[in-house]
Structure 1
Amino acid sequence: MTAAAFVMLIVAGFASGLVGYVTGLASIVSYPALLFAGLSPLQANVTNTVALVPVGIGSSAQSGKALLTDKRSLVRLGILSALGGVVGAAILLVSPAESFEVVVPYLVAFASVAVLAQPFLRRLAGHREMPRSFEVGIFAVSIYGGYFGAGAGVIFLALSLVLTANPLWRASLLKSALLGISNLVAALIFAVSGPVHWTAALAMGIGCLAGGWFGPPIVRRLPPTPLRIVIGIAGLGLAVWLAIR
């Protein structure tokens, strides 16, 4: 890998970390950047999973105290995310990619619409929260995150905004932490069994760590409604890109 490609991946990693925390769409930057650097689709996929782990580390280090208000729930969700990451990584390594990627654009599009319709959906739910449905959803999305991951952040946000009463900034922080856990366990499996491009993962990981660190204070200062609309529209754009790529 050339020095220029290494620097490009650091910059792309920073953008991925920042965009990933703010919108949940880190892979819309990181995955194409890895392909542009010359990696094959499979190698870019597993390298992307490894490289995005620092996003969760950076954001959790920046605002970790806000996550600790309900430690028991956080531990339970973390375990579900880890188990989902293991299952998703195993599926990737033993099955053809086409068997799962066919439904990916539809999942991302559905989640993006849910983000856009969040106020209406929350009114339907009233003041009720649906923790069991939320936990099942976290496990399912963690499987997807361990398998492919592009758009997983948007799906996490949709689940949190619709099934819980979390404000957008806390939903973003929870999303980054849980996706970080799912990515971490999948990355450990890929480190042993997958074709990780370690130089590319290092370069992008450096940028992702910095981007994840700067994400939380930015989100807390942004108005939630315009940000939610941007996330939903960007998610629909990612769904179209995934469908035609």
Structure 2
Amino acid sequence: MHEVLIFTFLIFAGIIAGIVSVVSSMASLVSYPALLLSGVAPIYANITNTAALIFTGLGAAVSSVKELKKSWKKYLAYIVLILIGALIGSFLVVIFPSKIFEKLVPFFVLFSAFLFLVSGKKATFSKKISGKMGILISQMGMLIAGIYTGYFGAASGVLMLIVLMAVSNDDFVTVNAVKNIIGSLGNLVALLVFLFNKSVFWDKAIPLAIGLAIGGYLGQIIIRYLPLKQVRIITFTFAIILAIYLGYQAYL
């Protein structure tokens, strides 16, 4: 009975995380603590979360075929950079001891929360990058986002979104759809590294993945109509509370 409750809980957590991922690029701020609550240790929760997050992009892709069909080719260079970055980031998880990871996570969550809040300002996405230097900076930004995706991931989607909106003339819904796919590909690369070095808790990853796929599909539909201000406030507040809780666990 206990296993059934956890399975059901992770499906619902996955649905919420999938919607949050598409709407606000912050899936890990829901899915990661859900795995902690289900009894998975922090380092393995991160790895299991990475495995499950792949399915957010799959769900979002199904409901955004129209946007992706006309635009995906122009983003190929950024896809490659995300994959390289995710490869580097996932190796860093493997190399460093789990205790180091646990002590860094609260700061990653805080960084994610404030970056998410800043990303809500229209000015963040209003300036377009041009010229060789601008393109180089945007490519470095995408590489850093990939490294962050492979290492922890919460708010890596925000980093991707900022870069993509700065170099693209596509509308927000299209760029957001591209971001979802790129992020999932980055998680896939990280997972391939983790499979050879660390454990994935598949009994937790599978129900979370089911929920994320459903949430990713619903989120891409919702984002076409949903005002985001309330979502931002709730997610930011939750992130601060989570960072304090994780900091208490790591340092006290």
TM-score computed with the length of structure 2 as normaliser: 0.83
Matched, 1:25 2:26: yes
Tell whether the 8 Å contact from 1:25 to 1:150 is kept in structure 2 after alignment: yes
- CA, structure 1 residues 99+12, in 2 after alignment: closer, same or farther (shift >3 Å)? closer
**Which residue pairs with 1:149 in the alignment?**
153
Give 5+ residue unaligned stretches, structure 1. Answer: none
Tell whether the 8 Å contact from 1:151 to 1:235 is kept in structure 2 after alignment: no
Distance 2:19 2:109 in 1: 22
Tell whether the 8 Å contact from 1:115 to 1:231 is kept in structure 2 after alignment: no
Q: Map of 1:202-241 to 2, 5 A cutoff? A: 202-222=206-226, 226-227=227-228, 229-230=229-230, 232-234=232-234, 236-237=236-237, 239-241=239-241
Q: Structure 1 residue 61: deviation in Å?
A: 2.3
- CA, structure 1 residues 46+122, in 2 after alignment: closer, same or farther (shift >3 Å)? closer
Distance 2:123 2:207 in 1: 41
Q: Map of 1:56-95 to 2, 5 A cutoff? A: 56-95=57-96
Q: How well do the aligned residues superpose, as a CA RMSD in angstroms?
A: 2.4
Tell whether the 8 Å contact from 2:119 to 2:125 is kept in structure 1 after alignment: no
Distance 1:13 1:235 in 2: 15
Tell whether the 8 Å contact from 1:137 to 1:159 is kept in structure 2 after alignment: yes
TM-score computed with the length of structure 1 as normaliser: 0.85
Deviates more, 1:184-193 or 1:156-165: 156-165
Out of 128, 138, 142, the residue aligned to residue 142 of structure 2 is: 138
**Which residue pairs with 2:47 in the alignment?**
46
Tell whether the 8 Å contact from 1:5 to 1:37 is kept in structure 2 after alignment: yes
Work out the number of aligned pairs and report it.
238
Letter in 1 for 2:178: L
Q: Structure 1 residue 30: deviation in Å?
A: 0.7
Distance 1:86 1:100 in 2: 19
- CA, structure 1 residues 74+121, in 2 after alignment: closer, same or farther (shift >3 Å)? closer
Q: Structure 1 residue 33: deviation in Å?
A: 0.9
Give 5+ residue unaligned stretches, structure 2. Answer: 247-252
Q: Structure 1 residue 208: deviation in Å?
A: 0.9
Tell whether the 8 Å contact from 1:12 to 1:29 is kept in structure 2 after alignment: yes
Out of 123, 129, 135, the residue aligned to residue 120 of structure 1 is: 123
**SS state at 1:55 partner:** helix
Matched, 1:4 2:5: yes
Distance 2:110 2:4 in 1: 38
Q: Structure 1 residue 213: deviation in Å?
A: 1.4
